[in-house]
């Protein structure tokens, strides 16, 4: 980063001798425009929402149908992801176990990124690439659903999770960013957020997740219960 400097000459006179010292003072950077940064983020989000709205309108309902059918048949919805996507997988699992908008019976859903003992055990004893696949091997049954969240589709553990799920007749859903990476071809159902911004991808992914949770609650309306 370039900095501007202010030159100062300082004289020191002692008897017949005089000295001159050159002192450089770094000047403060001009203040950045915080409002412009806020506008940029907002406009970027608005732009990507406009671009994907029509696409999502037709792509989300079949996925919500598959997940609702799984739950109606006593199946389990599993979620997985890394980093921010791990947090989103926990968030969305909680929406189903708890509630999104409506009081209703709890729905069977779990995040494979939640149990620190399992995650550290598998990372230490096997490899981090297997942290999700091994859990799928343990708990998944035919007819269950796996939702894999990734901003790139490049993560090996996401790819292995999808492979393990496919091998067990688990319906696989990829909510992916950029070009979807290798994970795109491994998922039965795909939702692609074609952006290069990780932040914008994550924002649209949680938007998609909330829509799915809302559709599930509407479709499973017969599970509604009275307010406690």
Q: State the SS3 of the chain.
A: CCCCEEEEEEEEEECCEEEEEEEEEECCCCCCCHHHHHHHHHHHHHHHHHHHHHHHHHHHHHHHHHHHHHHHCCCCEEEECCCHHHHHHHHHHHHHHCCCCCCECCCCEEECCCCHHHHHHHHHHCCHHHHHHHHHHHHCCCCCEEEEEECCCCCHHHHHHHHHHHHCCCEEEEEEECCCCCHHHHCCEEEEECCCCHHHHHHHHHHHHHHHHHHHHHHCHHHECCCC
pLDDT number for residue 20? 55
Residue 33 lies in a domain: no
Whether the model clears a pTM of 0.95, i.e. scores above it, the answer is no
Whether 125 has a pLDDT exceeding 60, the answer reads yes
Look at residue 215 in the predicted model and tell me its pLDDT: 97
Averaged over 24-53, what is the pLDDT? Answer: 85
For the segment 110-134, the average pLDDT, to the nearest whole number, is 98
User: Is there a domain that residue 18 lies in?
Assistant: no
Judge whether 95 lies within some domain. yes
Residue ranges making up the domain that contains 186: 58-221
> Does some domain include residue 12?
no
pLDDT confidence tier of residue 19, bands split at 50, 70 and 90: low
Statement: residue 152 has pLDDT above 50: yes
Residue 197: give its domain's CATH number: 3.40.50.10490
pLDDT at 221: 78
**pLDDT of res. 168:** 98
Give me the pLDDT at residue 31, please: 72
- pLDDT: is 190 or 31 the higher one? 190
Number of domains in the chain: 1
pLDDT score of 32 more than 70:
yes
Pick 17 or 51 by higher pLDDT: 51
More reliable by pLDDT, 3 or 87: 87
- pLDDT at position 13 is 43
Is 141 contained in some domain? yes
Has residue 85 got a pLDDT over 60? yes
- Residue 3 inside a domain? The answer is no
Please check whether residue 30 lies inside any domain of the structure: no
Mean predicted confidence (pLDDT) in 120-133: 98
What proportion of the chain, given as a percentage, has pLDDT over 70?
84
Question: Is 110 domain-assigned?
Answer: yes
């Amino acid at each position: 980063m370039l900095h501007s400097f202010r030159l100062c000459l300082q004289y020191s006179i002692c008897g017949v001798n005089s000295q001159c010292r050159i002192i450089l003072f770094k000047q403060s950077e001009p203040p950045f425009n915080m409002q412009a940064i806020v506008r940029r983020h907002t406009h970027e989000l608005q732009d990507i929402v406009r671009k994907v709205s029509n696409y999502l309108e037709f792509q989300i309902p079949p996925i919500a149908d598959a997940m609702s059918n799984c739950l109606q048949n006593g199946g389990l919805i599993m979620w997985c992801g890394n980093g921010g996507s791990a947090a989103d997988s926990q968030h969305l699992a909680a929406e189903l176990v708890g509630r999104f908008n409506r009081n209703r019976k709890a729905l069977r859903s779990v995040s494979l990124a939640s149990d620190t003992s399992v995650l550290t055990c598998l990372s230490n004893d096997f490899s981090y690439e297997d942290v999700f696949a091994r859990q799928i091997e343990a708990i998944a049954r035919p007819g269950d659903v796996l939702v894999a969240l990734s901003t790139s589709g490049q993560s090996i553990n996401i790819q292995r999770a999808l492979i393990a799920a496919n091998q067990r007749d688990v319906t696989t859903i990829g909510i992916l960013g950029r070009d979807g990476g290798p994970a795109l071809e491994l998922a039965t159902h795909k939702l692609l957020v074609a952006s290069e911004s990780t932040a914008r991808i994550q924002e649209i992914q949680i938007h998609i997740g909330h829509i799915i949770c809302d559709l599930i609650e509407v479709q499973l309306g017969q599970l509604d219960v009275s307010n406690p």
